[in-house]
Amino acid sequence: MNLLSLAAPSLQTLSYLVVAFVSVAIAISFSRRIATSQRVLRCRIFSSLTDLRVLRLCTGTLVLTIFLALLGLEVGEYPIPRFEAIKTALWSRGGEFDFVVNSLRFPRVLAALLAGFCLAISGALFQSLLGNPLVSPDVIGINTGAALCAVFVLTVGADLSVLPWAAFVGAVLTAIVIYSLAWKQGVNGSRLVLIGIGINALLASGITYLMVKYPIERVVAAARWQVGSLFGSSWSDVRILALGVAIITPLALFLVPKLRLLQLGDELAIGLGSRVEMDRMAIIVVASAYAAIAVAVIGPLGFVALLVPHMVRLIVGSLTGGVLLLTGLVGALFLLGCDLVAQQLFAPTTLPVGVVTAALGGPYFLFILVRYNRAL
Amino acid sequence: MVNLETSDVVLSYGSKRVVDDLDFIVPEGKITAIIGPNGSGKSTCLRGLARVLRPAEGVITLNGRDIHAQPTKAVAKQIGLLPQGPTTPSGVTVLDLVRRGRYPHQRLFDQWSTEDEVAVGNALILTGLEDDLDQYVDHLSGGQRQRAWIAMALAQETDLMLLDEPTTHLDIAHQVEVLDLLRDLNRTEGRTVVMVLHDINQGCRYADHVVAMNDGRIANQGAPEEVVNSQMMQEVFGLAAVVISDPVTGTPLCVPDVVDKGAGREA
């Protein structure tokens, strides 16, 4: 039995986990108490309104993320002293730890951070655009659409470099199909969720079909497109993610003010000078692109895009550029944390990170469902 | 100043013509009230003026040029719209909402200029919301929420404001408060106001110009005293009414002339 062969979680890991949970709870309750205050930055043609609270939370999250990233370099089957790990990762080459740090752990940590960033922002854009916390790319099938195209590329044996593009096309097409099916004199969030869940099931069965149809040696490479895993993340994965983030993030920040108008309803948005259909399409494409690059690298990982943006919104309120970045940072932190748990909890057996996000996200999903339906 | 005109405009939803042959010049610097029975095309007319609905025929011009041929952001600096019962996104504070009204004035990197700050401050003071900045809009009472929306429209700083039934769902004290606010804006800042109103008496009391619509057409328009009389009430609303002089302001006041309801039901 597979389950029985799992080692019991080590006491040390468990106690770390408990400490982590408690500190997250304390951090959340503390962050709610920070008073909002705003500063304006102005010089010549530039001006911007900054919420100091969001800025502080961003800094705090960044510090935690760096700490966790260091932890990710150190721990594992082959523990490495902290300073050695930093040294090897940043400047020292060819040393004793070079292979473990620079080929295995460092790319994996970076991939987790970047993918978490992408998924969380994608979720924030979708949720804010349709005003429904359940409209996130993993629930409505955007991730699965991207994964279907990625699996297709893998199983037919096409060039691997087209994989991110295939995922992008899959994500955008899925988004457009869902959106047009849900269109009925405007789009209602709940209706879109139901249609999305149906589409999600359809696409998932498509993936299963491909896995069954094609020869096993090709299917093995596609196995991570079942749950989402960071195992075997390489520098080329990190490059794809980093490039994607660098290109899409400025676009997303540019679209935030337009999204804030669309939240007021189409009529008001038009009255305030928004080109409604164009802006909405642009936001959907950008949000899908975020989901697509994450899926292209780590597979259709569930619940990050659902849980993180909703949690951040509960703490800091409605979407602004700063809140969007904070959501991304929290997503990065969350996914990295989940991956460490997945690697360490039953060490030496490692779990796919998708199992951990699902274990945390499932109850949260129910919480949103219950809460949201009551609010209706 | 803004000069908004429609000529031979037809507004329709799909194949259904809702407003026909609309020829209308928005009176500059005045308060205009659009009145009429349910389904007469009042709101549709306002949506057309606000370029939310593209005319099927005819043309709407802003300062002499087709409104749909101008950049929508430039139009938004001149015309503001407050639709009926706007949806409030959850978790949005009063300050956040009012700031969104500045969108047409913001540029790519110039996201929060001194003018933006002044406009938002003024809008909040005019609507008396300066102490409720951090309140969530969806937690406010109906009257305060409506004031928050009006503050957002004010922050847009347009010479022309279009409002669709700004007083619905408000009790009478709040109705008067909102209408007083709009009249003050008109008198002190010279803003042109066009609003759809259900209450004819309020229309007569606050408007300089009344447009009575019936069946998608303008039945009559002019000063309240010229438009609102028992003949118009019969023709437009199909209601027998006596029009007297408002004891406070001297403007027309309609009193339905139907006493025996039982008789009305049989007939």
* Chain A interface includes B113 (CB < 8 A): yes
pLDDT at A206: 92
Residue B253 phi, psi dihedral angles, 5° rounding: -135, 120
**How far is it, in rounded angstroms, from Cα A324 to Cα A249?**
10
Chain A residues with CB under 8 Å of B150 CB are none
* Chain B interface includes A190 (CB < 8 A): no
Residue B28: Cβ within 10 Å count: 13
Which one, of A292, A296, A160, lies nearest residue A218 by Cα? A160
Confidence check: pLDDT of A2 > 60? no
Q: Which helix (H) or strand (E) holds A198?
A: helix A189-213
Which one, of A31, A121, A48, lies nearest residue A327 by Cα? A121
pLDDT at B263: 53
- Min mean pLDDT across A73-87, A166-180, B43-57 is at A73-87
Residue B96 has its nearest CB partner, among A267, A271, A318, at A318
**How far is it, in rounded angstroms, from Cα B226 to Cα B95?**
42
What's the pTM?
Answer: 0.88
Q: Residue A231 domain-assigned?
A: yes
Nearest chain B CA: its distance from A243 CA (Å): 23
Radius of gyration of chain B (CA): 19
Residues 26-65 of A with CB under 8 A from B: 36, 40, 42, 45-49
- Which CATH number belongs to the domain containing residue A192 in this structure? 1.10.3470.10
A308-318 confidence digits (pLDDT tens): 999 898 888 88
Q: Determine whether the interchain pair A317/B81 forms a contact, defined as Cβ–Cβ distance below 8 Å.
A: no
* Segment A67-73 mean pLDDT: 89
A315-374 confidence digits (pLDDT tens): 888 888 899 999 999 999 999 999 988 888 877 778 888 888 888 888 888 888 787 655
Q: Determine whether the interchain pair B109/A46 forms a contact, defined as Cβ–Cβ distance below 8 Å.
A: yes
pLDDT at A1: 41
| Best of B52, B70, B82, B157 to mutate (most A CBs within 10 Å, chain A) | B52
Residues 161-190 of B with CB under 8 A from A: 162
Cβ contact A295:A146 at 8 Å: yes
**How far is it, in rounded angstroms, from Cα A366 to Cα A347?**
29
Output the six-digit token pair for A127: 């949720």
Domain count of chain A? Answer: 1
Cβ contact A189:A132 at 8 Å: yes
Output the six-digit token pair for A373: 């339906």
Q: Residue A42 domain-assigned?
A: no
Confidence check: pLDDT of A259 > 90? yes
Q: Residue A40 domain-assigned?
A: no
pLDDT at A134: 85
Confidence check: pLDDT of B75 > 90? yes
Residue B131: Cβ within 10 Å count: 9
Output the six-digit token pair for B203: 């229309």
**How far is it, in rounded angstroms, from Cα A245 to Cα A163?**
16
pLDDT at A376: 39
User: Mean pLDDT over all residues of chain A?
Assistant: 84
Range of the domain at A277: 9-34+48-375
Distances in whole angstroms, Cα of residue A65 to Cα of each of A28, A68, A69, A241, A310: 15, 5, 6, 17, 19
pLDDT at B174: 85
**How far is it, in rounded angstroms, from Cα A62 to Cα A204?**
35
pLDDT at B262: 56
* Segment B151-155 mean pLDDT: 92
* Segment A131-142 mean pLDDT: 88
Q: How many residues would you count in chain A? A: 376
- CATH 3.40.50.300 residue window(s) in chain B: 1-78+158-228
* Chain A interface includes B104 (CB < 8 A): yes
Q: Determine whether the interchain pair A36/B134 forms a contact, defined as Cβ–Cβ distance below 8 Å.
A: yes
The H-assigned helical ranges of chain B are 42-49, 72-76, 94-100, 114-126, 142-155, 172-189, 200-206, 224-227, 230-232, 261-266
Which one, of A342, A307, A341, lies nearest residue A327 by Cα? A307
Q: Which helix (H) or strand (E) holds A210?
A: helix A189-213
Fold exhibited by the domain B1-78+158-228: Rossmann fold (3.40.50)
Under DSSP, the state recorded for B20 is: E
Confidence check: pLDDT of B267 > 70? no
Residue A100: Cβ within 10 Å count: 18
A14-39 confidence digits (pLDDT tens): 777 788 778 777 877 777 676 667 77
pLDDT at A375: 46
Scanning every residue of chain A, which has its alpha carbon at the shortest distance from the alpha carbon of B74? A273
* Segment B174-184 mean pLDDT: 90
Under DSSP, the state recorded for A302 is: -
Residue B86 has its nearest CB partner, among A48, A264, A313, at A264
Q: Determine whether the interchain pair B100/A264 forms a contact, defined as Cβ–Cβ distance below 8 Å.
A: yes
- Min mean pLDDT across A198-207, A225-234, B199-208 is at A225-234
- Where are the extended beta strands (E) located within chain A? 38-43, 46-51
